[in-house]
Amino acid sequence: MSSQTKLHTRREFLKKSFGLVAAASSVPTFLSRTVFALANPFAASRGNRILLVVQLGGGNDGLNTVIPFGHDIYYRVRPSLAVPKEKIVRLNNEIGLHPNLAPLRDLYDAGKLAIVQGVGYPNPDRSHFRSMEIWQSGVAEDFESTGWIGRMFDHTCNNGHLKEPCSPTLAVSVGETLNPALKANNPVGVALRDPEQFYRMTQVYANSEVVADAPTANVKTVSPLDFLRRTAMNAELSADRIRRSIRNVQSRADYPVDEFAQGLKLIAAMIAGNMDTRVYYISLTGFDTHAGQAGVHERLLKILGDGLAAFQKDLEALGQAERVLGLTFSEFGRRVAENGSRGTDHGQAAPMFVFGKTVKPGIVGAHPSLDKLNDGDLSFHTDFRQVYATTLEKWLGADAKMVLGQKYNLLPLVA
Amino acid sequence: MFSLSTLHPNNWNWEKARHLLFRAGFGGKAEEIETILGKGLPGAIEHLLSGPTRTLPIPKWLAEDKAIDPRAVRSMGEEEKKMLQRSNRQHTNELQGGWVQFMMSTPTPADMLHEKMVFFWHGHFATSEQKVKATPFIYDQLKLFHDRALGNFGDLLHAIIRDPAMLRYLDNDQNHKGKPNENLARELMELFSLGPGNYSEQDIREGARALTGYSLEPYQFRYRRFLHDNGSKTVLGRIGNFSGEDFVKIILEQPACAEFMTRKLWVYFASENPPEDVIKTLATKFRESKYDIKTVLREIFNHPEFYSAEVIGAQIKSPIQLVVGAARTLELAVNNFEFYGRMLLMMGQVPYLPPNVKGWPGGRSWIDTSRLVTRYSFAEIVAEGKIPAEMDPRLPGDMDLRDPGMTPEERKLKRKELRSLPPRNLRIDFNAEKFAGSKSSPAEIVDAITRVLLAVSPTKDERQVLIANLEKTLKEKSYEEALQRAVGDVMLLPAYQLC
């Protein structure tokens, strides 16, 4: 903003004129008691565990990510895009990783990576928009406006068994807008790219006089005005909390300079800074490679691999690795055969990575068959909600059936 | 004399006139509220229902876009395809932004209600440019809503099963005899007319058969009779060799239809929790009028419940309501649709970009911390009269920082480049005199501003801060600038998010 300094002084002015809040400290202590003591239902039973969701936007080409180099068909249908056998980072005699994902093989070797193969959902939709909505909502059978993460908090706080609101910082999405996966009926979660800018923008309205009763009221029953006041206060307090939590954290890894890696660096700092956040969400986009795929895809995989490796290294050095589990997904994979433009079109099944120090390492499920295709696409054999359900139940200790609407078979992903 | 379903004339006052203007439309100036007040309720309603006075402008490139043969595109080279995609992207943005500007520049309250109804139909028959893609689809559908916004709902429902954008969006161009696609048939009943619980899965299957062959070519409706299923169908208890038109007629005969539509209109204009007895009464009148849209709107705006404490100031403004309303009330310059588009995107509501076929869920779903912060940014920009370059895409291609073709590095560079540009001014033809009149004390000015801008009075503390701020800025800035700052301060209040 062009008017940063003005805003800052304005805020001081607002606060001084209320006489309720000391200008030096941005959060009054009585607020810290009320709001920051708010429900963190996952704290006690599950040892402050954290989930990181990495969204790969555009439809990542799963076949050039986890590569079935042992199958001739792969080389036959991808004359210009197939990665030469000798360059592939092998995991076994059949499959391997793209060379730019070499850092993930290190994780694999260290027992910190699981690869779930052939993930998708029934009646796949090839629209980016709809398919991403399905992954974010965790509902493929209907249109659902809340996200799977958001619903997890909905089912726990407020109308859930806690009967009180969740702490506003339980979910943090790094980016300009709140990821739809975090969308809840009772808003939890903040989105930010730059903590300082987020802080400045939340401080323009100092709603000090309205907070006394707002935070404890149930969102279903409060008036729209109190709902707005509460959200305003949540924004203000979250921003302040994030800013303070990262202030004294020194990163212990060399992150690449790209935006994705820098976002991960921020997340690692928030984790080490003892935020009460249980779910972090970050996106990397550009995977819609219809033409001239090779260069673009290589570059994106490098960003992904290097970023995640730095993140993991940082967490370990910061002593936080035990409590963080990460997963990656994309809205769909791409067609098996390349198209006439040295690219690939929208497909179906694709692999997911699940990583972290406490992951149960290995390869889950077989690589989808390359000769028995479904309309030119790899068929899925594992529903993505099995991965969600597993992380909900086994990692976060949430009720997966409540969140996902039905029971899914769990996968061996968490040690 | 006075019926229970009409507000008593003795209760007609400034607050209610403001409420009617801001709900039937997006917002307005003090003198418009005065005009509405002066007409009395019946006069005011007729005044509001007398639009539109304008026709929808035709984009200069429309004929050119309509001449593009989709089959020819397939055989184009990569570069040519890319160029075409880029121009289509640009034209789509112009359509979206152009509509927002068109809403902002409504010359009369009647045009405003008309435009608000056009937007209602867009949300009701939600269609996304992300799927239909080609601009002729979007423009023609917008034209349909513009032409029929205040006409007859039955006509609209008939038109929608022949609307190319809808046929494409809900895959009816793939609904063939012997190989039906049920998407349109399902939404036609679930979302567009009856609501869940008023039809069976069997009705969907049979209804889909009635809609077979309702296709398009390339951007126009085309009935493909060889793809139409001529067999006998059973739909909602009726048996016959039904066409799509017959299917729509049968739907319109259901009492559930008028109730569903009346409820949806009540939620849009009045409140999230419609009183069921009121809905029943109004729905009967709607049905008796054979779905005359003006009739049901007249009933809504006349009803005492519309002016109750549960309704006034209890609706969370949609982003369109917020941004268009501010532009209209404050006479913001409207020549910068990229900026407004970006604001709306961050607030979660861009025309022709609904989350799905259900449209925007509205209510509290508009608000989360990041969206609220975006609303603050908007208020600050209005207050300072400057648009930071980052919020102000001004070069071709800047519009969409989310462009999936952009790498993170490119995006970062673009942001950096944008940040380095000087902020542009947001021109506000905001006439302080109109707000404050001849009043001169800061308290009187603040009261005059909040009276127009807020549906809910500020708290005592909030009012004090507003007055103190204004006293201070009046010493530091020009009178106009100080008032603009005071307006921005009011827009930062939680109450400003309410309508």
Question: Among A1, A207, A231, whose Cβ lies nearest the Cβ of B388?
Answer: A1
Under an 8 A CB cutoff, do A133 and B356 touch?
A: yes
How far apart are alpha carbons B427 and B430 in whole angstroms? 9
pLDDT at A4: 33
Rounded to a whole number of angstroms, the distance from the CA of A71 to the nearest CA of chain B is 30
Mean pLDDT to the nearest integer, B343-364: 92
Structure-block tokens of residue A174: 């790094």
Say yes or no: B130 contacts chain A, CB-CB below 8 A.
yes
Question: Among B346, B405, B456, whose Cβ lies nearest the Cβ of A176?
Answer: B346
HSE value, Cβ hemisphere, 13 Å, CA-based, for A213: 6
pLDDT tens-place values along chain A, 415 residues long:
333 333 333 343 334 333 333 222 333 333 333 444 455 555 444 558 999 999 999 999 999 999 999 999 999 999 999 999 999 999 999 999 999 999 999 999 999 999 999 999 999 998 888 899 999 999 999 889 899 999 998 888 755 555 556 788 999 999 878 899 999 887 788 999 889 888 887 876 654 333 333 444 455 567 888 888 878 888 888 898 999 999 999 999 999 998 899 999 999 999 999 999 999 999 998 898 888 899 999 999 999 999 999 999 999 999 999 999 999 999 999 999 998 889 999 999 999 999 999 999 999 999 999 999 988 899 999 999 999 999 999 999 899 999 999 999 999 999 8
pLDDT at B329: 92
Q: What angle do CA B299, B280, A220 make, to 5 degrees?
A: 95
- Yes or no: say if B274 and B263 are a contact pair by the CB < 8 Å rule: yes
Rounded to a whole number of angstroms, the distance from the CA of B422 to the nearest CA of chain A is 9
Structure-block tokens of residue A388: 């969600």
Under an 8 A CB cutoff, do A17 and B456 touch?
A: no
Q: The domain spanning residue A254 has which CATH number?
A: 3.40.720
Say yes or no: B68 contacts chain A, CB-CB below 8 A.
no
**DSSP class of B86:** H
- Yes or no: say if A117 and A368 are a contact pair by the CB < 8 Å rule: yes
Under an 8 A CB cutoff, do B469 and A10 touch?
A: yes
Rounded to a whole number of angstroms, the distance from the CA of B362 to the nearest CA of chain A is 11
Q: Where are the alpha helices (H) located in B180-253, listed in sequence order?
A: 183-190, 201-210, 244-253
- Yes or no: say if A136 and A147 are a contact pair by the CB < 8 Å rule: yes
HSE value, Cβ hemisphere, 13 Å, CA-based, for B438: 0
Cα distances from B36 to residues A12, B14, B118, B312, in angstroms, run: 41, 9, 22, 17
**Residue B83 φ/ψ region, left for φ over 0, alpha for ψ in the -120 to 50 degree band, beta for the rest:** alpha
Residue A51 lies in a domain: yes
SS3 label, residue B235: strand
Cα distances from A13 to residues A17, A31, B138, B193, B464, in angstroms, run: 6, 20, 48, 53, 12
- 327-356 in B: which are within 8 Å (CB) of A? 346, 348, 355-356
Residue with tokens 């911390």: B369
How far apart are alpha carbons A278 and A47 in whole angstroms? 11
pLDDT at B272 over 70: yes
Question: Among A129, A207, A287, whose Cβ lies nearest the Cβ of B130?
Answer: A129
Domain with A46 in it: 4-404
Say yes or no: B77 contacts chain A, CB-CB below 8 A.
no
What amino acid occupies position B342?
R
Residue A249 lies in a domain: yes
What amino acid occupies position A170?
L
Beta-carbon pairs below 8 A across chains A and B:
153
Residue A411 lies in a domain: no
Under an 8 A CB cutoff, do B494 and A210 touch?
A: yes
Residues of chain A positioned with their CB less than 8 A from the CB of B386: 2-3
Cα distances from B238 to residues A196, B37, B221, B241, in angstroms, run: 64, 49, 27, 10
Residue A238 lies in a domain: yes
Q: Which of B168, B364, B373, B466 to mutate to test the interface with A (most CBs of A within 10 A)?
A: B373
* Residue of B154, B498, B190 whose CA lies nearest to B356: B190
Residue A256 lies in a domain: yes
Mean pLDDT to the nearest integer, B396-422: 60
Under an 8 A CB cutoff, do A258 and B408 touch?
A: yes
Helix then strand then coil, in percent of chain A rounded to 5, is 40, 15, 45
Residue A412 lies in a domain: no
How far apart are alpha carbons A59 and A287 in whole angstroms? 5
How far apart are alpha carbons B238 and A400 in whole angstroms? 43
Low-confidence winner among B39-53, B303-317, B452-466 (lowest mean pLDDT)? B452-466
Rounded to a whole number of angstroms, the distance from the CA of A147 to the nearest CA of chain B is 12
Question: Among A3, A127, A180, whose Cβ lies nearest the Cβ of B384?
Answer: A3
Rounded to a whole number of angstroms, the distance from the CA of A113 to the nearest CA of chain B is 25
Going edge to edge, which strands form the sheet with A89-90?
A: A66-67, A96-97, A89-90
Q: How many domains does chain A have?
A: 1
User: CA-based diameter of chain B, in Å?
Assistant: 80
First to last CA, chain A: 46
pLDDT at A203: 72
Sign of the dihedral defined by the CA atoms of residues B350, B352, B355, B361, in that order:
positive
Low-confidence winner among A374-388, B177-191, B337-351 (lowest mean pLDDT)? B337-351
Residues of chain B positioned with their CB less than 8 A from the CB of A296: 407
Mean pLDDT to the nearest integer, B163-176: 95
How far apart are alpha carbons B188 and B286 in whole angstroms? 19
Under an 8 A CB cutoff, do B494 and A228 touch?
A: yes
**DSSP class of B316:** B
Say yes or no: B371 contacts chain A, CB-CB below 8 A.
yes
Run of H or E including B234: strand B233-235
Residue A204 lies in a domain: yes
For the question of whether the overall pTM of this predicted structure is more than 0.90, the answer is no
What amino acid occupies position B132?
V
Residues of chain A positioned with their CB less than 8 A from the CB of B404: 57-58, 285-288
How far apart are alpha carbons A350 and A65 in whole angstroms? 9
**Gyration radius of chain B over CA positions:** 24
Encode burial over B137-173: b for 16+ CB neighbours within 10 A, e otherwise. Answer: bbbbbbebbbbbbbebbbebbbbbbbbbbbbbbbebb
Q: What is the pLDDT of residues B126-151, one digit of tens each?
A: 999 988 989 999 999 999 999 999 99
Q: What is the pLDDT of residues B154-169, one digit of tens each?
A: 999 999 999 999 999 9
Residue A306 lies in a domain: yes
